[in-house]
Every structure is written in structure tokens, then in C-alpha cells.
Amino acid sequence: MEIEKLKIAFNKLSDYIFFDENQCFREQVSSIQQIKKFIEDTEPMIQFSLKNDEKYFLYSVLGYAYRVINQAEQAIFYFQECITLTERNPKLKMITLIRLGEAYKYANLHKEALELFDHALKLSIEFNMTNYDDFIYQHKGKCLMEMGEIELAKKYLNTALKIRKRKGNIELIKSTQIVLDYLNNGSVKGKC
């Protein structure tokens, strides 16, 4: 599979992805077979001679695919491979830290996930790259929600919501609002 075909196949995965309220709004899949097929078709490409940006993309999509089928250890492996390719690119490093933090959250390593989100925020401030701050706050808020830190989770989610309203992205606003509504309705008692 060529990189361009891989990008198309990866984009089609969104048809099988949803946020599961019963699992703290983690991304889950409606067809694990489709995701596994994608992984089976994609992993052999690692053996090819690829440019760094192609490797980065390949490792990123594999990390994502493994995360959404709840194989966090494999996801962590691939996102750590991505980190090695981002040392000279603060923006990609910040994005990868967010993705790696999510993988750690799926592995129930919440403290480590929070450290990665904080590191991503530090890069955002240091290099004035605030375009992803809403993602950092969203993921940090959801991580805190999983830890039972509901009031602190609301604080970060509200910050994400304010940023997303300024950006005007309806889908992102909706995804944050759903989690906040869930928390404000008292649906979570302790850890979810």
C-alpha cells in the first residue's frame, strides 16, 4: 500500500470510530475487524525505505489504530517511535506528545499522561503554537475525569470549550460540550 492510498484508508477508519460515554468518552470502534485489517495492511510498510515524514505518518496511524482497539502498549510503542522523529520539529513533537498522552491514558497510566499533556502545553507556550491548546486542555480534562478529579476536569474542559468557541469549529465544540454536560449532570461519581 502506497502512502497516498494509506491516507485514504486511514480517513475511512473514521466511519468505525465513536466516543463511548460508558468508557469516559474514549474513542472506540464499531468494527474491530476493519481496524485490524488496516493494521495488517499497514505494518508491513515499516520495512520499506521511507522518508522521515512518511515514517512519522506511518507510526502515527498505527499508534492511533492500536489505541482505538484498546491495545495501548502497541500504541505507546508507535508514538514513542514518532517522538524520535520530531526532535527538530516542535510542532510535531507537541502533537505527538498529545497523542502519546492519550495512549498512556488508555493504558490507565493517568499520571504519565498528564505529564505528557503538560509537556505539550509547555512547548505550545515556548514556541507560541497555541493552535492545539484546546486539544491539550480537552485531553487533560478527560484524563482528570477518569481519575475522579471532576472539578479540575471541568476547569480544563471549560478552557477547551472557550478556545473552541473562538475557533468556531462546531464538531469540536460539541465534543467538549457533551463531556461537560455529562459531568454537570452528576453522571460521574468518582472514577469513571
CB 140 within 8 A of CB 114: yes
What is the DSSP code (8-state) at residue 30?
A: S
Q: Which CATH superfamily is domain 3-184 in?
A: Tetratricopeptide repeat domain (1.25.40.10)
Please say if the pLDDT value at position 1 is more than 60. Answer: no
CB 120 within 8 A of CB 143: no
Global confidence as pTM = 0.92
Residue 26 is inside which H or E element, if any? strand 26-29
Please say if the pLDDT value at position 191 is more than 80. Answer: no
Q: What is the pLDDT of residue 187?
A: 64
- At 108, the amino acid letter reads N
Please say if the pLDDT value at position 135 is more than 90. Answer: yes
Beta strands 26-29 and 17-20: pairing type? antiparallel
Q: What is the pLDDT of residue 86?
A: 94
For 102-125, the pLDDT digits (tens) are 999 999 999 999 999 999 999 999
Q: Strand, helix or coil at 34?
A: helix
Q: So where are the chain's domains?
A: 3-184
For 38-93, the pLDDT digits (tens) are 999 999 999 888 899 999 999 999 999 999 999 999 999 999 999 999 989 999 99
Which residues, 6+ apart, have CB-to-CB distance to 186 below 8 Å? none
> Per-residue confidence at 96, pLDDT binned at 50, 70, 90?
very high
Please say if the pLDDT value at position 134 is more than 70. Answer: yes
In the numeric block, the cell 509537556 is attached to 119
Q: From start to end of 74-142, where are the E strands?
A: none
Query: CA-to-CA distance for 97 and 101, rounded, in angstroms?
Result: 6
> Per-residue confidence at 19, pLDDT binned at 50, 70, 90?
very high
> Per-residue confidence at 3, pLDDT binned at 50, 70, 90?
confident
CB 58 within 8 A of CB 43: no
Percent of the chain residues past pLDDT 90, beyond the cut? 87
